[in-house]
Amino acid sequence: MNIVVCVKYVPDATADQKFESDNTVDRVAVPGLLSELDEYAVEQALQLKEKSEDPESVSVTALSVGPEAAADAIRKALQMGADKGVHVVDDAIAGSDALATSKVLAEAIKKIGGVDVVVCGMASTDGGMSVVPAMLAERLDLPQLTFASVLGARGGDFRIQRDGDVATERIAASAPLVLSVTDQTGEARYPSFKLIMAAKKKPLDTWSLGDLGVDASEVGLSAAWTVVENTEARPPRTAGEIVTDEDGSGAKALADFLASKKFI
């Protein structure tokens, strides 16, 4: 079985976020790391390998699209146990939206070849759109099992449980397919020292748009279907208002406050 897990290098949520002059996220000045939600995807890809009848015949490839620093996200996946990595890096990719990103990922998956399962996180922690797995399935003409909170697999048959707000769905499909998992599937493993050292010897290929046959005009900020027109820094936190209820007016004051903020 050939498994590709898509991983993204995102700005550290605890860092001071910045934007470029074109209103795109500054991914150079802000420290980055492997998206936490993608760690669950890596974990499930590794479990698929470990629980297979012949783990030695299963290969897990970590794939990422991003700037040079995005290689760190791939290295983290390799340290967790992935077998090899592929990094698509090209200056023209900067500013790409989900449509362009899914195209680059799809072409990279085709170039890897013979892929049975594409595993993704439910969303990226910087964008949070949750649409790339579905777009990948469409571009690759594969069935999709998305937002899995529980995952089961036997051979090439996969079953997931998807928990929604009003219903729980159980869905099945056969490989090849695209799979996305939520943080409910189980905690991601922490790389051991042995795995960290072994990761240094694992192959990590670097590809450009030219290697994938993708024209630069199809990606990047100029090809994006949405535009961020303006960004503003979050205002400093102000002191809250204390509501007392000495005369019985506290409930009304609280309700009026919530209504003024359009919470009720």
Provide the domain limits for residue 115. 2-223
Supply the pLDDT for residue 182.
95
Instruction: Give yes or no for residue 258 having a pLDDT over 80.
Output: yes
Supply the pLDDT for residue 42.
97
Supply the pLDDT for residue 50.
95
- What confidence tens digit (pLDDT) does each residue in 92-151 have? 999 999 999 999 999 999 999 999 999 999 998 888 889 999 999 999 999 999 999 999
In a domain, 83, yes or no: yes
In a domain, 143, yes or no: yes
In a domain, 66, yes or no: yes
Instruction: Give yes or no for residue 17 having a pLDDT over 80.
Output: no
Q: At which residue do the structure tokens 């970590």 appear?
A: 62
- What confidence tens digit (pLDDT) does each residue in 141-173 have? 999 999 999 999 998 999 999 998 899 999 999
In a domain, 175, yes or no: yes
Mean pLDDT of the residues in the chain: 92
CA gyration radius for the chain? Answer: 22
Instruction: Give yes or no for residue 228 having a pLDDT over 80.
Output: yes
- For residue 97, the domain's CATH number is 3.40.50.620
In a domain, 238, yes or no: no
Task: Compare 236 and 146 and report the one with higher pLDDT.
Answer: 146
In a domain, 127, yes or no: yes
Number of domains making up the chain: 1
Nearest 5°: CA angle at 186, between 182 and 190?
115
Q: Are the beta carbons of 134 and 118 closer than 8 angstroms?
A: no
The pTM assigned to this predicted structure is 0.86
Supply the pLDDT for residue 139.
98
Task: Compare 230 and 5 and report the one with higher pLDDT.
Answer: 5
User: How much is the average pLDDT of 16-36?
Assistant: 83
In a domain, 255, yes or no: no
In a domain, 246, yes or no: no
pLDDT confidence band for 14 (50 / 70 / 90) = confident
